Amino acid sequence: MIFRETEHKLYHELASTYDLYYSRIFNYQEFYDKIAPILEENGVKSILEVACGTGRLMEILEEHSYIVTGLDLSQDMLNIARKRVKGDLIQQDMRRINLENRYDAIVSLGSSFTYIQSDEDVEDTLRGFYTHLNADGVLIFDCFDKDRLSTASHGKWDAESQSFDDLTITRKSMSSGWNQDDGTWLVDWEWTIQNNDDTKTVFEQQKLKAHTFKYLEKKLREVGFTDIEKQDTRRLLIKAVRTD
């Protein structure tokens, strides 16, 4: 099995750049605020955070006394998370999760599900989520919403810079038009990291994918999930329960 399509530079050689830059793009406190009522309603104590990245949400969950295990494909991302969180960190592919423990909740935010693209991968990933939940365990994950994709900035370069002490990170990005049939699109990124006299530039093209709620609901039902709900957010945020 080749993992090449998910071995992204952004999560390997640029892991520390991701950590800084996305701390300004994503509002992790808002992520927490969205899921906190669901965790409370379901009496959750233990959480598996899938694609936990550099551990920024995991850190907030731990501050609220949840026992959290983080899982990510990238050891480079986990190495940064290690400095931030107490819980176990496991390097695994979410399409083939294989752990001894079961959890009260599985959480995966930040649109990491965009990398789960074929029917087979969607089925394997959701089955893995199901089998690693306790009875009445709750799954919460987000992804790009195929019903709400915008074509506004396609085909044009966008540039944005963020400054951090002695470091400036510039992200130039351009999206291809998205394929309306399968919900995929290509994004070209050019990252420039400037540190005093030193400048490094890294290019990467990634293939992203959006899903519809209807499609994911069907796939969730097929592996046994019930109480499947779409939460009201900009991204497609889905809650589902393992009831058996």
Ligand X SMILES: C[S@@+](CC[C@H](N)C(=O)[O-])C[C@H]1O[C@@H](n2cnc3c(N)ncnc32)[C@H](O)[C@@H]1O
**Residues forming the site for ligand X (CB under 6 A):** 6, 11, 22, 26, 51-53, 56-57, 72-74, 77, 93-95, 109-112, 115
Taking the least distance from each CB to ligand X, the nearer of 96 and 214 is 96
Residue 237: CB minimum distance to ligand X, A: 13
Residue 92: CB minimum distance to ligand X, A: 7
Residue 193: CB minimum distance to ligand X, A: 18
Taking the least distance from each CB to ligand X, the nearer of 136 and 190 is 190
Task: For strands 133-143 and 236-241, give the pairing.
Answer: antiparallel
Q: Do 231 and 133 contact (CB within 8 A), yes or no?
A: no
Q: How far is CA 43 from the centre of its chain?
A: 23
Taking the least distance from each CB to ligand X, the nearer of 149 and 187 is 187
Taking the least distance from each CB to ligand X, the nearer of 99 and 136 is 99
Which pair of structure tokens corresponds to residue 129?
């989520």
**Sequence-distant (≥ 6) Cβ neighbours of residue 89 within 8 angstroms:** 52, 55, 69, 70, 71, 72, 78, 81, 82
Residue 230 buriedness (CB in 10 A; 0-12 / 13-18 / 19+): middle
Residue 37: CB minimum distance to ligand X, A: 19
Taking CB atoms, the residue at the shortest distance from ligand X is 110
